[in-house]
Structure 1
Amino acid sequence: MKGYGETTKQIRIGKGYTQKHVAANLLTQGAFSKFENKNTDINLATMHGILNRLGITFEEFFYIQHGYQYSTRDEIITQFYRLSFNEETVLRGLSEKCQQYLRDFKEDQQVFHISIILEALIILAKTGDFERAKKMVEPVWRDLSKRNQLYITDLYMLNAILFLFPLPTVLQIKQFALRHLALYGNFRQVSRLQINISMNIALLLMKDNKFSKAQREILNAIYLCKKEHDFILLAICYVRKGICLNQLSLLGEKWIRKGVNMLITLEQFTLLEMVEEEIKQY
């Protein structure tokens, strides 16, 4: 792994900028040269100014600095964000990464919580034992519920454990999560999280035979899916919309067919099996 100065130099040369241009009004050219060539320390505000001058975000900088790949921790968080359904092999692979990471960084509470959630989801996928899975994740919810402020990864953890709780608790968690989500506005990944929350709550409402309320959650998710061009989740939303309409004695078959055909077109055959089970169930 390169030093920060060395990575900065690599990016600067790659973009064709001089040291004078990048360092202007931030630090002397001599100090900047020492930073690039000897990896001397600079403060965070100056580093932020340098990255702005280079047109690079902190996330991209660290990705380059780690040899154009995520650090182990960033990879765990990124994969956790991308979990969209409970495929046991995927859950086990990510759980193993968490355990390996925690051997060296036992104090990382966030990754520890993610590892607990993954173990609960694995148990659920393997045995269907909701009570056991719920007991495992209850400490995560207790910890998160006491905080004055939640951040993106915290909100993803909340979304991952929503379905393990009774519906009244879920709706309470939803309001708790949305208060914190509202602070993020158009921040990246927030729309995907809002979609997942609406889809998960819709599924819980469907299981409780509250199809009218589930339909409202699905319509919100459909709006966000279109906004984000997330066609895989949009296909699932169409299927669930059709199921709800059928249960409300309305015409839902065309929406079910539309969602199924989209998944076939997108070659999402594992997800197709999942939604076909939902269709049979209802």
Structure 2
Amino acid sequence: MKGYGEITKQIRNGKGYTQKHVSDNLLTQGAFSKFENNNTDINFATMREIINRLGITFEEFFYIQNDYQYSKRDDIITQFYRLTYNDEAVLRVLLDKCKQYLKEFKEDQQVVHISIILDGLIFLAKTGDFELAKKTVEPVWRDLSKRNQLYIADLYMLNAILFFFPLPTVLQIKQFALRHIALYGNFRHVSRLQINISMNIALLLMKDNKYSKAHREILNAIFLCKKEHDFILLSICYVRKGICLNHLSQSGEKWIRKGVNMLMTLEQFSLLEMVEEEIKQY
């Protein structure tokens, strides 16, 4: 990868900014020129202000530095965050990426945990054996449950392992997770995390024939989906809303049709197959 200074120079020139505009009251022009030519380093506070003056985020800076693509690590984490359904083929591809990455970076605990969760989800998809799958992911739960503070990556991992626990434990985990999510307010992507948690808990409640409570969770997820303009997840929510209403002696068919039609319109055909299996099951 190119050095920080070289990327700074690339972005600065691309925006038509002068060295003085970016370095004023931070560094002398000579020191800034040395930095751009990768002849010297600068401290974090100075780098943060330079990135602010360039009008970009740290995430975009590193994306550009990696030749306009995610690093292997960021690619793994981003794909893990985006998991919607436990599609075994998708899980296996992502697990393979984890294994390849961990050959080089064995001590990356976050990716180790993601690989353990993927192993558990694949085992569950193949066998349907919740107890053995739960044993696979227990090391992740033991680590997360000991922490005083959970961060975004931790919360996504916690959401991914909800299926491995009995419903009363899941509802306790939900409160534990929401306390930490509340700290993030409107932080980027946090609403999607709340949507995923509500959708997963709704499915677990449906499995336990608690359709009234599942319906409440789904209504919460629908509200957040609309707020985030997440129409793929909204489609799934509509289907689950319809299923719940059918079990509550109300007409849910129009919501099921609406969700299915949205997935067809969005050309989410593999997701549509999984949703149709869920409709048959319930």
- TM category, shorter: over 0.9
Structure 1, residues 118-174: CA drift from partner, whole Å, max 9, x if none? 111111122222211110111111110110111111100001010111001100110
* Pairwise CA RMSD: 0.9
Aligned to 2:49: 49
Aligned to 1:181: 181
Aligned to 1:257: 257
Count of matched residue pairs: 282
Structure 1, residues 205-261: CA drift from partner, whole Å, max 9, x if none? 011111111011000000000011111110110010011111010111111111111
Q: CA deviation at 1:38?
A: 2.6
Question: How far apart are the structure 1 equivalents of 2:270 and 2:130?
Answer: 22
Q: CA deviation at 1:39?
A: 4.3
Aligned to 1:159: 159
Aligned to 1:87: 87
Question: How far apart are the structure 2 equivalents of 1:153 and 1:211?
Answer: 30
Question: How far apart are the structure 1 equivalents of 2:255 and 2:35?
Answer: 59
Question: How far apart are the structure 2 equivalents of 1:116 and 1:145?
Answer: 16
1:90-169 to structure 2, matched below 5 A, reads: 90-169=90-169
Maintained 8 Å contact 1:4/1:39:
no
1:28-47 to structure 2, matched below 5 A, reads: 28-47=28-47
1:176-215 to structure 2, matched below 5 A, reads: 176-215=176-215
Unaligned ranges ≥5, structure 1: none
Unaligned ranges ≥5, structure 2: none
Note closer, same or farther for the CA distance 1:39–1:11 as it changes in structure 2 (3 Å cut): farther
Question: How far apart are the structure 1 equivalents of 2:39 and 2:272?
Answer: 51
Give me the identity figure in percent. 85
Structure 1, residues 33-69: CA drift from partner, whole Å, max 9, x if none? 1000134110000000000000010000000001111
Aligned to 2:268: 268
Aligned to 1:242: 242
Maintained 8 Å contact 1:149/1:180:
yes
Question: How far apart are the structure 1 equivalents of 2:128 and 2:193?
Answer: 25
Instruction: State the AA in 2 paired with 1:79.
Output: Q
Question: How far apart are the structure 2 equivalents of 1:279 and 1:88?
Answer: 19
Maintained 8 Å contact 1:6/1:39:
no
Q: CA deviation at 1:9?
A: 0.2
Question: How far apart are the structure 2 equivalents of 1:178 and 1:26?
Answer: 40
Aligned to 1:16: 16
Q: Does 1:224 align with 2:218?
A: no
Aligned to 1:67: 67
Runs of 4+ residues over 6 Å off in structure 1? none
